[in-house]
Amino acid sequence: MATLILVRHGRSTANTAGLLAGWTPGVALDERGAGQAAALPGRLAEVPIAAAVTSPLQRCRETLAPLLAARPGLALHTDERIGECHYGDWSNRKLSELSDEPLMKIVQQHPSAAAFPGGESMRAMQARAVDAVREWNARIEEEHGSDAVFLMCSHGDIIKSLVADALGMHLDLFQRIHVDPCSVTVVRYTPTRPFLLRLGDTGDFGSLAPRPAPAPDAAAADTATFESATEDGGNAVVGGGAGAA
């Protein structure tokens, strides 16, 4: 079956603001995120990509724009099933405020039981994303052959949940997975099992260096793990941080 390249969108304005963006419109890449996106074509230069699929959200489309400009013939498709988790009433709120919500403990420790008020459950989020990947795998293989490579640009929680599925991990363990902004994760699917070939690869090991103590609000957000946490990016719980969004 096909090989899937999962790209997390570059760092966004919500990431640096410590906001849980979700499906809030108008969330763009910040300056650093735009630079990350500009570097993506060079990082993938040697990889033949049969098709690209994107979340409909602006930050994902902006991340793929340089790659599409470098490859005018690359087909782009949009699939809402790989869009961000629907956080409902939590959308566009400060992560430092959400850290005090009783639900946050469930999100962090038992995500398979977490459902966002006015939004969706994390189980539903994973299920739709896995369904999308399976369907696109079959389509790409039928149209381009079993050795084909295709790309999806999505969000932290989506990518983490897909990695958990590929590794046969329970969703309750997916918070142990970390993917940085504009990182590349690769899964090769076969008839018997998936193989994880890359995980959160940015080619930059600077993030492994010790970080200075964060400010109080940043510390709270760093425990939150949503797609748009603080700048240095705690994605321990849901989605990922600014450094990881």
Give 195's strand partners: 188
Q: Quick: pLDDT tens for 109-146.
A: 999 999 999 999 999 999 999 999 999 999 999 999 99
pLDDT number for residue 210: 75
- DSSP string of 173-212, one letter each residue: GGGG----TT-EEEEEE-SS-EEEEEEEE-S--GGGSPPP
Q: Quick: pLDDT tens for 31-55.
A: 999 999 999 999 999 999 999 999 9
* pTM of the entire predicted model: 0.88
How sure is the predictor about 238, in pLDDT bands with cuts at 50, 70 and 90?
A: low
Give 6's strand partners: 152, 185
Averaged pLDDT for residues 104-108: 95
pLDDT number for residue 226: 57
Task: Assess whether pLDDT exceeds 50 at residue 165.
Answer: yes
Distances (CA, A) of 228 to 147, 186, 219, 234: 35, 22, 14, 9
How sure is the predictor about 204, in pLDDT bands with cuts at 50, 70 and 90?
A: confident
Cα angle 130-133-134, degrees, rounded to a multiple of 5:
85
